[in-house]
Structure 1
Amino acid sequence: MIKLHGFAVSNYYNKVKFVLLEHGIPFEEVLTKLPLAEAKLAESPGGKVPYIETEQGFLCESEVIVEYLAARFPEKRIFAADPWQAAKERELITFIETHLELVARELYGEAFFGGKASDEVKATVEKRLNRYVASFKRLAKFAPYVGGEQFGVADMAAFVSLPLVGMATQKVYGRDFLAEAGVDWKAYVKLVSERPAAQRVGADRKAYLEANA
């Protein structure tokens, strides 16, 4: 059985968990907090979560894990069967994670953990997010799902990451960059939350936060 290492507040951990739950792939959760102990760096060389443990060894980086799951369990159809649609799903995931969430992550210290971002960091992040939020808005469909009428793997990435971008920019700049661009991520998250797998991810995240308050 696949073992998923990490903790329920990590959005990338929750993305992988969402994929596993949504597609009925058996797995076991292994609570693994940061920073990783030196011995654990052999399992996740970058010292990050999530990572998985399989009969063949360890694998890290959430999107690499998802690609592995898609290849190992082709019958689950994690990505769309049509090559073009599958590529468009990967395109959306790249925009969400690389161009939005990873950029906004530089604000998390101030937004969520009581730190302070420098004026230089804020200015740089604002410039990059303004560019890529507009790009994402042109790419995403929200009709009603991020890629169109069908729920898919890109929604699992959007569900766990878009709220962080919206909340971080609201707290640091006093305005939600996504909402300001017309991306109603709150309504979208509410829609996705109707799925049992999303409800499980959300409930476990809430329970973890309450237990570690």
Structure 2
Amino acid sequence: MLKLYGFDVSNYFNMIKLALAYKGLDYQVEVVYPNQEPEFLTKSPMGKVPALETEDGMIVETNIIMEYLDAKYPDKPLYPADPFAQARVKELVKFIELYLELPARRCHQEAFFGSKVSDETRKDVKRALFRGMTGLNRLASFSPYVAGEEFSAADIMFLYSVDLASSVAKKLFEIDLLEGSNGAKALMAKLNELPEVQKIAADRKTANKAFVEYVTSFQK
């Protein structure tokens, strides 16, 4: 059986949970936070999560795990078969990660845990999120899904990355990142109505207390 390493508050971990649920695959969760313990480093070389244990060995990095799952279990695909359409989904996944997920992450400590970041960082992140969302509005279809008519890996990345980026924008800059987008807000609502997504959200809420305790233990 597939074994997924990570924790329920991680958006990347939840991306893989949704991919597995969407495909109807059975798996076992091994709760672990990022760490540098020798045993875990044999599974995840950088000590990051998620990591997926398969019958053939370990796989790390969220994008690669989703691509593996699609190749190994082709039912209910996350990537189209057509080469150009597939490249477009991968382009959207990478775009959201580079220009929304990663900039927003620079302010997670202040937005979610109360630790201040510099004014320069706040300014850089605000500018980056605006440019990233503007670019996504140019690139995405939102008809109704990110890449077109079919649910794909791009929607998984959108749900769990843009949601956090929107929270950062709202809390730190009082900006609605989805306002004025042609379909982004409607898609976010549509995805959050999925039973699989609601189950993952419930798991995240349950796990949040332990995660906050874990994070604050490093701030003392």
Give TM-score scaled by structure 1 length.
0.90
Inter-partner Cα distance in structure 2 for 1:135 and 1:77: 26
Inter-partner Cα distance in structure 1 for 2:35 and 2:183: 34
Q: Is the 8 A contact 1:163 1:186 kept in 2?
A: no
Inter-partner Cα distance in structure 1 for 2:210 and 2:187: 28
CA deviations on 1:109-164 (whole Å, 9 max, x unpaired) are 10001111111212222232222221111112222222222222211111111110
Q: CA deviation at 1:7?
A: 0.5
Q: CA deviation at 1:107?
A: 0.7
State the match for 1:135 in structure 2: 135
2:195 counterpart of 1:196: yes
Aligned residue for 1:53, secondary structure, equals: strand
Q: Is the 8 A contact 1:104 1:168 kept in 2?
A: yes
Q: CA deviation at 1:194?
A: 2.6
State the match for 1:6 in structure 2: 6
Output aligned runs, 1:1-213, within 5 Å: 1-176=1-176, 178-182=177-181, 185-209=184-208
AA paired with 2:90? Answer: R
Percent identity among equivalent residues?
41
**CA 1:67–1:16 in 2, change beyond 3 Å: closer, same or farther?**
same
Aligned residue for 2:107, secondary structure, equals: helix
Inter-partner Cα distance in structure 1 for 2:36 and 2:199: 26
User: Matched residue pairs, number?
Assistant: 212
Q: Is the 8 A contact 2:103 2:129 kept in 1?
A: yes
Q: Aligned-pair RMSD on alpha carbons?
A: 1.9
**CA 1:66–1:209 in 2, change beyond 3 Å: closer, same or farther?**
same
